[in-house]
C-alpha cells in the first residue's frame, strides 16, 4: 500500500492519455477474467470490488456496492449478456475514474492505494 495526494486534474489527465489508460484496462481485465472467456461476469467484477481497489473511495456498504453494479451492468452491458467485454469494461472504468475525479474536486485528496489500484497509476 502507498499514500499520495491526488486531485481531479491528475485523474482526468490519466484517463485522457488513452495509451496509458488502455494498457491499465488491459492488465486489469486480464487479471479479473478468471475463466479467461474474454468477458467479465458480475462475480468477476465484484471480486475486484471486494478488494476495494475498484470502488475504494466511493462506496461503503455491501448494499451500495450491489446497487452500483446493478446500475453499471444496466448501462454498460449493452448486449445484455450478463458480462462486460474489454471495450465495455474500458468505458466503465473511465466513467468510474471520472466520477471519482469529480468527487475529488479541486482540492487534492490524500488517498491510500491498494497495491494494484488503478488510481495509483495516476500519480
Binding site for Ca ion (CB under 5 A): 33, 35, 37, 39
* Closest CB 67 distance from Ca ion, rounded Å: 22
Residues 94 and 21: beta-carbon distance below 8 Å? yes
Among 49, 56, 100, 57, CA closest to 73:
49
* Closest CB 42 distance from Ca ion, rounded Å: 10
* Closest CB 43 distance from Ca ion, rounded Å: 9
Cell of 7: 486531485
Helix or strand or coil: residue 51?
A: coil
Nearer to Ca ion, 77 or 122 (CB): 77
Cell of 20: 496509458
Nearer to Ca ion, 81 or 102 (CB): 81
Q: How far is it, in rounded angstroms, from Cα 42 to Cα 49?
A: 10
Nearer to Ca ion, 90 or 100 (CB): 90
Amino acid at each position: 500500500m502507498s499514500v499520495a495526494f491526488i486531485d481531479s486534474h491528475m485523474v482526468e489527465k490519466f484517463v485522457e492519455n488513452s495509451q496509458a489508460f488502455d494498457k491499465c484496462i488491459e492488465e486489469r481485465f486480464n487479471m479479473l477474467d478468471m475463466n479467461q472467456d474474454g468477458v467479465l461476469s458480475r462475480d468477476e467484477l465484484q471480486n475486484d470490488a471486494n478488494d476495494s481497489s475498484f470502488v475504494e473511495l466511493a462506496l461503503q456498504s455491501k448494499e451500495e456496492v450491489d446497487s452500483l453494479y446493478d446500475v453499471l451492468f444496466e448501462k454498460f452491458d449493452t448486449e445484455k449478456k450478463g458480462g462486460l467485454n474489454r471495450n465495455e469494461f474500458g468505458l466503465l472504468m473511465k466513467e468510474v475514474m471520472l466520477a471519482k475525479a469529480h468527487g475529488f474536486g479541486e482540492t487534492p485528496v490524500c488517498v491510500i492505494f491498494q497495491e494494484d489500484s488503478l488510481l495509483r497509476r495516476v500519480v
